[in-house]
Structure 1
Amino acid sequence: MHRVADRRIKIAAARADFLRFGHAETQSVPGLVAASWQRSFSAGVDAVSSQAAFHSDLDLTGRLMRCSEPVIARLSDEMAQMPLSIVLTDYRARILSRSETDKTIGTLLDEVSLAPGFNYAEASVGTNGIGTVLESGQPLYIVGPEHFLEHLQPFACAGSPIRDPLTGRVEGVLDISCLSEDASPLMHSLVRSAAHEIERNLLVDRSQRQQALFEAYVRVDARTRGAVMAIGGTVVMGNAVAQSLFAPDEQWTIHEHARYLMISPGQPIDQIELSSGKIVQIRGKRVVVGPDVAGIVVVVDIKSEPVLVTGQERPAAADLTVTQPIPAAAESAILSDASSLLGKRASSSLVAAFDVGAALLVLGEAGGGKVSLLAELYRHVVPAGRTVVHCADDVNDHGLGNQLEDERSTASIQPTLYVFRNIDRLTPAAVAELDAFLRERATSGRPRDGVAVTVSQPDLHADLLAARPYTRLLHHFETSVTVAPLRHRIDDLPDIVTRVLARRAGLRPATVSAGAMRVISRYPWPGNIRQLEQALDTALLTRPVGAIQAEDLPAYCHGGAPRLLSALEAGERDLIVGALHKAAGNRMRAAESLGIARSSLYRKLKSFGITVTES
C-alpha cells in the first residue's frame, strides 16, 4: 500500500515538473503516460482550465450501442457493490452512455463533464482513460496524477478499445471510472474482458447481416432460372448464369446500379442499357436487418441485345419504348456531357419533358446541379428561350406576385422556363401563390413555356409522410426526374471537372493532372458539384495556372471517409494530409512531425479514408 502511495507521489512530482518546465524526469512515469503528457501539452490543453466539449449529434441506435448494452448491463449487476461508473464512447471519444452503481460517483463525474455527449479526446482534455486509449490503440489504466487535467486527479479509470473484429477499426472505448482510493488493478483486466465480449457481439451482428443477405440470395436463386446477384457492403455474389451472361464491366455496372437502387426511395426496379448495348431489367429486393439495410438481391433479365446492322451494332427494336425525338443539338450535348448511365438517363428524360412542355419535378441531393442542368438543356431544346429561377427563401420573403408581373412582360416575346428551387422549404402562403401560378399556367396555352421545381430527394420522402405544405403542389407535375448524386456518376467526372475548371479559371491555362483526377474520382463528394467547385477554387488559389496536382486539392479530397466530418475532425485530417505531403508519404516521419504514435496515425488514416503513396 505504501509503495502505491509512494509511486503516485513520484508521478505527481514528475507531472508538476513537466507542467512547469515542459520536461521532467519520467523514470517513474509509464512511457505511454509520458508520451500522452507531451501530446496534451503540444495540443494546447490547459491543465487547469480545459473542459470537455459537448456534442449532440450522437449515434445512440447504431451497432455499437446495440452490441454493448447487454454487456454493460451484466457488468453493472456484477459490480453493483462497488462505487464505479461504466462509460461507453464512440471512436471520436464522445460519450454515448454512462451507467453508475452509486449516486455519489455519478454526481462527481457530472462535475467533470464525464457524461453523455461530452468529448474526452486527448487533444481536448489531455491524458485520460478514453482519449489516450484511442491515441495509443491499447487498453490503459490511468490513476490520479497520471491524468493531465487538474480536476481529473481524484479519479482512476481503466479503458479498452473496442474493435470491429472484421475490419480492425476502433469503434469506441469501454471505460470503468471510480475514485482513486477505490481503484484496483483488476479494473484493467475487467474492462478488457468486457470489451472483448462486445467485440464478439459485433462479430455476431455483422455475421447476421451477411447471413441474412446470403440466405435471401439463396432463396431467390433457388426459384429463378436467370441471373441473380447479391450486393451489400463489401460482399458481392452472383450465380453461374450471371457470370456467363455478363462481362466483368457489365457486372460492375449492374452492381453499382443495384447499390443506387438499394438507397433510393420506391421499389428497386429499373431498366438500364449496358455499355455493350444490352438492355436489362433489374428487379431487386432489399434485405433489412433490424433498422439497417444489409444489402440487395437482384434478378437481372436481358430485354434486348445488340444486333449487327450494316456493319454496326444497334439495339434490337423489340422491347424498346419509343419516346419523343431529342433535337440534334441537345442530344449532342447530352452525349458529350454525360458518360454515366444515370447522367444520360436524367438528361434524356429532361429533354423529352421539355419537348412536350411537361411540368417537371426534379429530385436529387443538394448541390447536385439540378438547376444548372435544367437551364442548360432547356437552352438546347428552346434556343431562343430563357430560364428564370425563384428560390424558396425569396418567394417566402417577397411573394411571387411582383416578380411574375415583371417577368411576364418579357415572357410575352420570349419562351421561358420557370424554375422554383427547394419548394419543400415554402411557407403555406408561398405554396398557395405557387399553386395559383401553376393552375394559371396549365390553362394559359403557352406550349413553349416550361415549369420545373426542385426538391431534395430524402426530404421529399420524409415530408410526404408528414404532409408538409408543398405536397399540395405535386398533382401539377406530369413527370419526375432524379438527378443522381455525383458519387453515382463517376464516369461523368472528367467532363464535369473540365467544364467547371473552364468556367472558374476563365482565360487562364489550367488543367487537371492524372494524379489529381485519381484523387477526385476516389472521393465520394457528399456536397456534390457545389463541393467540387469549391475544391477546384481552392486548387486554383494554390496553382493559378498549369496542371493542378493532387497536393493542390483540399485535404478532405484525399480522404474517403463515408461521412461528413466535424470541423475538429476536418482540421485534424488537414494536418495529417499536410504532414504526409511534407514527408513525401512516409508514415513514420509524418507521425513524428505530428507527435503521435504510428499506430495512432494508421488508425486515423483508416478512419478518414486517407490513402498514402510514398514518393
Structure 2
Amino acid sequence: MYRVAERRSRIAAARADFLRFGHAETQSVPGLVAASWQRSFLAGVDAVSSQAVFHSDLDLTGRLMRCSEPVIARLSDEMAQMPLSIVLTDYKARILSRSETDKTIGTLLDEVSLAPGFNYAETNVGTNGIGTVLESGQSLYIVGPEHFLEHLQPFACAGSPIRDPLTGRVEGVLDISCLSEDASPLMHSLVQSAAREIERNLLIDRSQRQQALFDAYVRVDSRTRGAVMAIGGTVVMGNTVAQSQFSPDEQWTIHQHARYLMISPGQPVDAIELSSGKIVQIRGKRVVVGSDIVGIVVVVEIKSERARLPVRESGLTLSPGRGRRVHEPERSSAAAAAIVHDVSSLLGKRASSSLVTALTAGAALLVWGEAGGGKVSLLAELYRQIVPLGRSVVFGAEALNENGLQSLLENDLLSVGVPPTLYIFRNFDRLSTAVTEEVEAFLVARETRADPAGIAVTVSQPDLQADLAVNRAYTSLLHHFETSVTVAPLRHRIDDLPDIVTQVLSRRAGLRPATVSAGAMRVISRYPWPGNIRQLEEALDIALLTRPVGAIQAEDLPAYCHGVAPRLLTALEAGERDLIVGALHKAEGNRMRAAESLGIARSSLYRKLKSFGITVTDS
C-alpha cells in the first residue's frame, strides 16, 4: 500500500511539473499516460477549467446498446458490493449509459459530468479511461493523478475498447470507474473480459441479422432477372441490374422509400416517380428475426420513363367504365402536375397526384391515413383547384350519427343547376348502422345520375385491413368506391413542413404577416408531430398568442415541441419539463445558467434533457 501511495505521489509531482514547464523528466509516468498528457496539452485542454461537452444525437437503440445491456447487467450484479460505476460509450467517446452500484459514486460522477450524453474525448477532458482508450486503441487503467483534469483526480477508471469482430472497427468503450481509494488493478482485467463478451454478442447479433437479410436477398435475386435491392440498418445491397438501371440519386430515393414501406402497415408494394421521371414499381419482402424487422428486400421494376403516376390502390379495384368525369374536362398530366408543384416530399407528391387523378376522373374515392393528417383539407383544396367554381360539403360521422344524413342534406344538392359539389364524409368508419343505411341510399342515388357529384370518404385508421374485419357497418358500403389513396403521416413528409407551416399561418394569423424564424423552423422540423397537422395548428396557435407581432421564435412554441420524450410523462414530469424549457429560454440556451437558475447540477440538467427529450436550438 505504501508503494502504491508513493508511486501516485511521484506521478502527481510529474504532472505538476508537466503543467508548469510542458515536460516532466521522470521514469514514474507510464509512456501511454505521458503521450496522452502531451496530446491533451496540444489540444488546448485546460487542466483546471475544461469540461465535457454534451451531445443529444445518440444512438440508444442500436447494436452496441443491445449487445451490451446483458453484460452490464451481469457485471452490476457481480460487483454490487463495490462502489463503482459501469459506463458505455460510443466510438466518439459520448456516454450512452451509466450504471452504478452505489448512489454516492453516482452523485460524485454527476459533478464531473461523467453522465449520459457527455463527451469524454481526450480533446475535451484530457487523459481519462475513455478518450485515451480510443486514442491509443488499447485497454488502460488510469488512476488519480494520471488524469489530466484537476477535478478527475479523485477517481480511478479502467477502460477497454469494444471492436466489431468482423470489421475490427472500434464501436465504443466499456469503462469501470470508482474512487481512487477503492481502486484495484483487477478492474483492468474485469473490464477487458466484459468487453470481449460484448464483442461476442456483436458477432452473434450481426451474424443473425445480416445473415437473415443476405439469405433473403440471395433467394430473391436467384429467381429474379430484374433489379433487386436489400436494405437493413447500415447495410445496403444491390445486384448488377440495380446498379446499371438506376443512378446513385435514384438508388437513394428507392432505398429511403423501401425503409418507409418496411415499417408501414399493409403490404410493402408501391409505385413511385423518381426525379428522372421514371415510374418504378417496388415490391418488397420484410426480413424478420425474432420479433424485429431487420430489413427489407425489394424488386424494382421500371414501368415507364415519362408517365403520370397511377393511383395507388389498397385492396380495391378500379373497375373499367365506373370512373366518371367531374363537371370540367379531364385535365392533362401536365395540368395535374401543376396543381401539386408546391409539394416537396415524395410521399406528399404521390398522394396529391393520386388524389388529383381520382378527383379529375370523378371516381368514388376512399382516403385513409392517421388522424389529423389533413385528409379533408387536402381533398377540399385539390377539388377547388380542379373545379374552381365547385364547392365541398363535409359531413362528420358524429353529426351524422346524431342527426342523420337527410336532415343535413339540403333539398337541392342533388338537383339540376347546383354548383359542382364534392361530398366528403369524415371518419367514414365510425358511422352507425342506422346512418349506414341512409348513406347507402345516397350513394345509390348518386350513381344513377348521368352527371353525378363527387364523393370522397376518409378513414382515420392506422391499418385499414385490420379494420375491415371489425367494422362491418361501413365495409358493406365499400363496393361503391373505385379507388383508395393513402395520405402519409406528417413525420414522413418533413420536406413539406415549410409549405404547410406557411399555409397554416396564412389561415390562422388573420391580417398580421406571420412568419417563423430559422430556429423555430428547426424545432418544428425535428419534432415528429404524432398528432399530425392538427397538432401543428395547435402549436402555431399557441405561438401566435405568445408573440402577437414579429417572427415566431423557438421559445414561442409549446414545450413539447422541443424534444421527444422516450416515454409518456406524468403530469408532474410534464410540469418539470416546461420549467426546464422556460429556464433554457431565459438563459438563451446556456445550459450552465439554466441549471443555476433551477438550482440543480449541470449534469442533472443534461440527464433531464435526455429523459424529457428536450432539444436545445439556437434561434
TM-score category, normalised to shorter length? 0.5 to 0.7
2-structure distance, mates of 1:496, 1:372 = 12
Distance 1:494 1:304, change over 3 A: same
Distance 1:319 1:402, change over 3 A: closer
2-structure distance, mates of 1:208, 1:569 = 39
The alpha carbon displacement at 1:367 in A equals: 0.7
Distance 1:142 1:486, change over 3 A: closer
Q: What amino acid is the match of 1:554?
A: P
Structure 2: 5+ residue stretches without partners: 1-64, 78-96, 105-162, 165-170, 173-190, 313-322
Is the CA contact 1:326–1:351 (under 8 Å) kept in the aligned structure 2? no
1:425 is matched with which residue: 427, 430, 436? 430
Q: What amino acid is the match of 2:480?
A: H
Aligned pairs for 1:536-555 within 5 A: 536-555=540-559
Q: Which residue of 2 aligns with 1:299?
A: 299
Q: What amino acid is the match of 1:414?
A: P
1-structure distance, mates of 2:198, 2:432 = 48
Distance 1:343 1:565, change over 3 A: farther
Q: Which residue of 2 aligns with 1:456?
A: 460
1:138 is matched with which residue: 99, 106, 109? 99
* Partner secondary structure for residue 260 of structure 1: helix
1:386 is matched with which residue: 384, 391, 397? 391
Is the CA contact 1:424–1:460 (under 8 Å) kept in the aligned structure 2? no
RMSD: 4.7
2-structure distance, mates of 1:609, 1:238 = 36
2-structure distance, mates of 1:402, 1:272 = 42
Q: Which residue of 1 aligns with 2:483?
A: 479
2-structure distance, mates of 1:456, 1:527 = 12
1-structure distance, mates of 2:279, 2:392 = 34
Is the CA contact 2:311–2:483 (under 8 Å) kept in the aligned structure 1? no
1-structure distance, mates of 2:577, 2:427 = 32
* Partner secondary structure for residue 351 of structure 2: helix
2-structure distance, mates of 1:387, 1:422 = 16
Task: Output one character per residue of 1:247-281: Cα deviation in whole Å (capped at 9) or x when no partner.
Answer: 45433322231122223333322221111223222
Distance 1:528 1:248, change over 3 A: farther
Q: Which residue of 1 aligns with 2:266?
A: 266
1:490 is matched with which residue: 480, 494, 499? 494
Is the CA contact 2:340–2:353 (under 8 Å) kept in the aligned structure 1? no
The alpha carbon displacement at 1:436 in A equals: 2.1
* Partner secondary structure for residue 403 of structure 1: coil
Is the CA contact 1:137–1:600 (under 8 Å) kept in the aligned structure 2? no
Distance 1:506 1:320, change over 3 A: closer
* Partner secondary structure for residue 275 of structure 2: coil
TM-score, normalising length: structure 2: 0.60
2-structure distance, mates of 1:298, 1:270 = 11
* Partner secondary structure for residue 512 of structure 1: coil
1-structure distance, mates of 2:310, 2:424 = 34
Q: Which residue of 1 aligns with 2:584?
A: 580
The alpha carbon displacement at 1:304 in A equals: 4.0
Distance 1:290 1:601, change over 3 A: farther
Q: Percent identity?
A: 73
2-structure distance, mates of 1:536, 1:317 = 35
2-structure distance, mates of 1:422, 1:317 = 29
Distance 1:253 1:567, change over 3 A: farther
Distance 1:515 1:265, change over 3 A: same
| 2:312 is equivalent to residue 336 of structure 1 | no
Is the CA contact 2:270–2:283 (under 8 Å) kept in the aligned structure 1? yes
Q: Which residue of 2 aligns with 1:277?
A: 277
Distance 1:68 1:197, change over 3 A: farther
* Partner secondary structure for residue 506 of structure 1: coil
Aligned pairs for 1:335-354 within 5 A: 335-354=340-359
Task: Output one character per residue of 1:11-34: Cα deviation in whole Å (capped at 9) or x when no partner.
Answer: xxxxxxxxxxxxxxxxxxxxxxxx
Q: Which residue of 1 aligns with 2:187?
A: none
Task: Output one character per residue of 1:495-542: Cα deviation in whole Å (capped at 9) or x when no partner.
Answer: 111111111112112212233223222222111111111121122122
1-structure distance, mates of 2:196, 2:411 = 69
2-structure distance, mates of 1:487, 1:341 = 13
* Partner secondary structure for residue 505 of structure 2: helix
| 2:404 is equivalent to residue 399 of structure 1 | yes
Is the CA contact 2:543–2:557 (under 8 Å) kept in the aligned structure 1? yes
* Partner secondary structure for residue 476 of structure 2: helix
Q: Which residue of 2 aligns with 1:557?
A: 561
2-structure distance, mates of 1:474, 1:527 = 27
Is the CA contact 2:272–2:309 (under 8 Å) kept in the aligned structure 1? no
Is the CA contact 2:337–2:353 (under 8 Å) kept in the aligned structure 1? no
The alpha carbon displacement at 1:428 in A equals: 1.6
Q: What amino acid is the match of 1:298?
A: V
| 2:486 is equivalent to residue 525 of structure 1 | no
Of stretches 568-577 and 450-459 in structure 1, the one that deviates more from structure 2 is 568-577
* Partner secondary structure for residue 387 of structure 1: strand
The alpha carbon displacement at 1:286 in A equals: 1.0
2-structure distance, mates of 1:208, 1:463 = 34
2-structure distance, mates of 1:377, 1:237 = 39
Aligned pairs for 1:121-200 within 5 A: 137-140=98-101
Q: Which residue of 2 aligns with 1:255?
A: 255
Distance 1:598 1:202, change over 3 A: farther
The alpha carbon displacement at 1:142 in A equals: 7.5
Task: Output one character per residue of 1:53-98: Cα deviation in whole Å (capped at 9) or x when no partner.
Answer: xxxxxxxxxxx99x999x99xx99xxxxxxxxxxxxxxxxxxxxxx
Distance 1:409 1:239, change over 3 A: closer
Q: What amino acid is the match of 1:397?
A: E
Of stretches 292-301 and 599-608 in structure 1, the one that deviates more from structure 2 is 599-608
Distance 1:389 1:255, change over 3 A: same
Q: Which residue of 1 aligns with 2:378?
A: 373
* Partner secondary structure for residue 408 of structure 1: coil
Task: Output one character per residue of 1:395-453: Cα deviation in whole Å (capped at 9) or x when no partner.
Answer: 1111112212546377752222111111211222222222222122222x152411111
Q: What amino acid is the match of 2:264?
A: S
* Partner secondary structure for residue 361 of structure 1: strand
Q: Which residue of 2 aligns with 1:447?
A: 451
TM-score, normalising length: structure 1: 0.61
* Partner secondary structure for residue 388 of structure 1: strand
* Partner secondary structure for residue 585 of structure 1: coil
Distance 1:494 1:394, change over 3 A: same
The alpha carbon displacement at 1:474 in A equals: 1.0
Is the CA contact 1:68–1:198 (under 8 Å) kept in the aligned structure 2? no
Q: Which residue of 1 aligns with 2:511?
A: 507
Is the CA contact 2:311–2:358 (under 8 Å) kept in the aligned structure 1? no
Task: Output one character per residue of 1:87-111: Cα deviation in whole Å (capped at 9) or x when no partner.
Answer: xxxxxxxxxxxxxxxxxxxxxxxxx
* Partner secondary structure for residue 525 of structure 1: coil
Task: Output one character per residue of 1:177-196: Cα deviation in whole Å (capped at 9) or x when no partner.
Answer: xxxxxxxxxxxxxxx9xx99
Distance 1:318 1:500, change over 3 A: closer
Is the CA contact 1:366–1:527 (under 8 Å) kept in the aligned structure 2? yes
2-structure distance, mates of 1:201, 1:470 = 54
Is the CA contact 2:519–2:617 (under 8 Å) kept in the aligned structure 1? no
* Partner secondary structure for residue 341 of structure 2: helix
Paired residues in the alignment total: 444
